[in-house]
Amino acid sequence: MYVLWRVIVKELLQLGRDRKMLPMIFVAPIVQIVIFGFAVDTDVRLVPMVLVDQDGTAASRELVHRFSGSGYFRLEGSEASVGGVERWLEAGRAQLALVIGPGYGEQLARGGRPRVQAIVDGTDANSGTVAMGYAASIVAGKGREVVLQKRGGRTPPVPYAVPRVWYNPDLESRWFYVPAVLGMILMMMTMLLSSMGVVREKEIGTMEQIIVTPIRPWQLIVGKLFPFAAIGIVQVVLVTVVAVQGFGVPLRGSFLLLLALTQLLFLNTLGLGLLVSTLVSNQQQAMMMSAFCLMVPMIYLSGLLFPIENMPAAIRPFTWVIPLRHYAEILRGIFLRGSGLDVLWPQAAALAGLGVAILAVAVGRFQKTLD
């Protein structure tokens, strides 16, 4: 144990001497989560809107007020005819055009079908779809209100579902993305640091000195990787504090369970980092291989940023061997749903199985390099 402890201390001292590495380890995660928390927001608010009111009655003005007062739309201007809408959408000054047809107020009063059209800029498909849904909801709400008034306040005899959202009542996209940043940070930092840390020994020529010392291979591997796992735990604490206190993301589950299951992620990321170190000869190659061959595909296929259900059927089976997929489910389960191990054990078992397999392959290759 003394030899193992000395290797761990050596790694920590070596990291501490690197003035450029320390900010990357402890400051970069905070910067990343702040950027993601503020910049990555798919919630659609204050959509710029241009109005074409061909009715000009109190009823049409009331509908416009509903749009501008909803918090989802911002009235930027108006046009006399539909033909003038194109220049607004083409210039990007408006994303939605609300066209109220002539006779809107009269048709509404008679119980007819007034003409209302929403023209949406589909350049940004996500925002366009959401804006179209908001517009349809506002118009439908006005229609239900008129029906109720004509029936003397009695609810029409049609099924009406009352929506209730669990775990994220306000449907804040930030709650979805901020925990994802934690997974990405841990994967990037532990994989990069472990791969570059081992390769650095090759570059400076100290690996040969370590090999001739009376140290067992497992002691060298654990001693090299343990400091990076400890750094990862510190990063979990830092990012969680910023997520909860800075962005209001709830932590409904056990933080100790999160720390425990994060160790299973480290089995995978540190194992991959060790494996990369056996395939390259310098730190630049280690960084390139880790980033482009492993990290980018893992992020895209993990479900952290894009729903797995939306991926092609031929690709979905491959996501099961992505450790970050299972950790993403653990993160959102603990943060948002308050899930315990009784619910998350399949993801934990998958992480453990993948981690043991990856680490076994990495250790086998590393021992060959020592021989």
Nearest of 278, 139, 286, 289 to residue 207 by alpha carbon: 278
Most confident of 124-133, 206-215, 295-304, 319-328: 319-328
Tens digits of residue pLDDT in 321-348: 999 999 999 999 999 999 999 999 999 9
User: Please, what is the average pLDDT of the chain?
Assistant: 84
Write out the H or E segment, with its range, that includes residue 100: strand 96-100
Instruction: Find where tokens 């118009």 sit.
Output: 139
Judged by average pLDDT, the poorest of 1-5, 51-55, 108-112 is 1-5
Q: Please, which residues bridge with residue 119 across strands?
A: 97
Sign of the C-alpha dihedral, residues 231, 233, 237, 243?
A: positive
Distances in Å between the Cα of 339 and the Cα atoms of 39, 111, 266, 347 are: 28, 50, 21, 12
Give the full edge-to-edge strand order of the sheet including 47-53.
73-78, 47-53, 96-100, 116-120
**pTM exceeding the 0.85 threshold for the entire prediction:** no
Q: How far apart are CA 318 and CA 6, in angstroms?
A: 40
In this prediction, residue 150 has a pLDDT band, given cuts at 50, 70 and 90, of low
**Can you give the pLDDT at residue 370?**
63
Q: What is the arithmetic mean of pLDDT over 7-20?
A: 72
In three-state secondary structure terms, 267 is helix
DSSP characters for 14-70? HHHH-TTHHHHHHTHHHHHHHHHHHH------SEEEEEEESS-SHHHHHHHHHHHTS
Contact (Cβ atoms closer than 8 angstroms) between residue 89 and residue 119: yes
Q: What are phi and psi of 169, to 5 degrees?
A: -55, -35
In this prediction, residue 210 has a pLDDT band, given cuts at 50, 70 and 90, of low
Tokens representing residue 39 in the block: 């910049």
